Amino acid sequence: MNTNFTTSPKMEIGELQVNSDIKLRHMVYRSAHSKATVLFLHGFPETMYAWMPIAESLSSDYEVHAFDWPGYGQSSRPSADRFSYAPKDYARVLQDYIQTSGIDSSKLVIYATDIGALPALLAALEQPHIAKEIIVGDFAPFNRPQYMYESLKALKSKPSSDAVRAAFNQNRDEILASAFFRGLPAEEHYSLPQEFRDDIAKGWNGDITPADALYHYYSHFTRDQDYFEANMPKLKVPVKVVWGEKDIIIKKEMGVEFAECIQAKLTILPNRGHYPHLQAPKQTADEIRAEIDC
């Protein structure tokens, strides 16, 4: 098993027009002898840079992709009357990316977290062969507010959602300083690459900020959660569930229920919070390798 984080093909960063309204910033590592393709889908308030250490590790054996969701990083930010930022709309963006980038779905593993996970599963309902496997974690497949952080509950309906949106936009620096460590004791805090922090901060500009995108996402969230739960028996793509034991943003009980409902493999990661891929990138890379190679 090769987990060398230093030997990797050159990373390519560019833009890809996936439909008439959306241009995505994306990064690709192309392995000369790729055994599979891994596509990473980030959460709030991340960008594709969240995946860079893991992508570098995997790129010796796999082709690796990641992109910024609309409203995040350097991807398009159309007005909400043209693009709703709903999970179902993100699902269509994902489908468009896979098709436009020429990824072979029969060799594709999608790893999706937080706001990226429900769109991946919704896309799989529409396209049963969209990927060979989907790995999801630390997200909310069902409308279960009891498992969610207070601010996320408040985003689900007005007028509380307006207050949360305003607070998120006013407190960007506090969010970027503390969001990744919520629920973890001081000894479990971890370092984040400055390039990643700078990329998030740079992307928190424009008419649509990541906080605005999250607000619009949540305004449709319950509808799309209910749709997914009602149609979950139609899900054909194999799914694995990974969760941080100490996640207080979306508690592990959500992951346990989801895994039981679809009879998926479940891994609870000890001492990990809401962002296990940032907290322990080598562990995440090793898990992906083991899943692909099993």
- Which letter does DSSP use for residue 108 in this model? E
Beta bridge pairs of residue 41: 67, 112
Question: What are the C-alpha distances in Å from 235 to residues 133, 269, 276?
Answer: 11, 25, 25
- Which letter does DSSP use for residue 267 in this model? E
239-244 and 133-137 beta bridge pairing: parallel
pLDDT of 79: 95
pLDDT of 205: 86
pLDDT of 3: 46
φ/ψ of residue 142, rounded to 5: -120, 160
Kindly report the CA angle at 129 between 126 and 131, in degrees rounded to 5?
105
pLDDT of 19: 95
Give the domains, in start order, of the chain with CATH numbers.
11-293 (3.40.50.1820)
pLDDT of 112: 98
Euclidean distance between CA atoms 93 and 88, whole angstroms? 9
Query: What is the end-to-end Cα distance of the chain in Å, rounded?
Result: 12
pLDDT of 134: 98
Question: How are strands ordered across the β-sheet holding 63-67?
Answer: 11-17, 23-29, 63-67, 37-41, 108-113, 133-137, 239-244, 265-269
What are the 10-residue block averages of pLDDT along the chain, 294 residues in total? Answer: 55 96 96 91 98 95 97 97 97 98 97 98 97 98 97 96 97 93 93 96 93 98 98 97 97 98 96 97 94 87
DSSP three-state, residue 119: helix
φ/ψ of residue 201, rounded to 5: -60, -45
Matching residue, tokens 């179902």? 88
pLDDT of 33: 81
DSSP three-state, residue 280: coil
What is the per-residue burial (b if ≥16 Cβ within 10 Å, else e) of 179-215?
bbbeebeeeeeeebeeebeebbeebbeeebbbbbbbb
37-41 and 63-67 beta bridge pairing: parallel
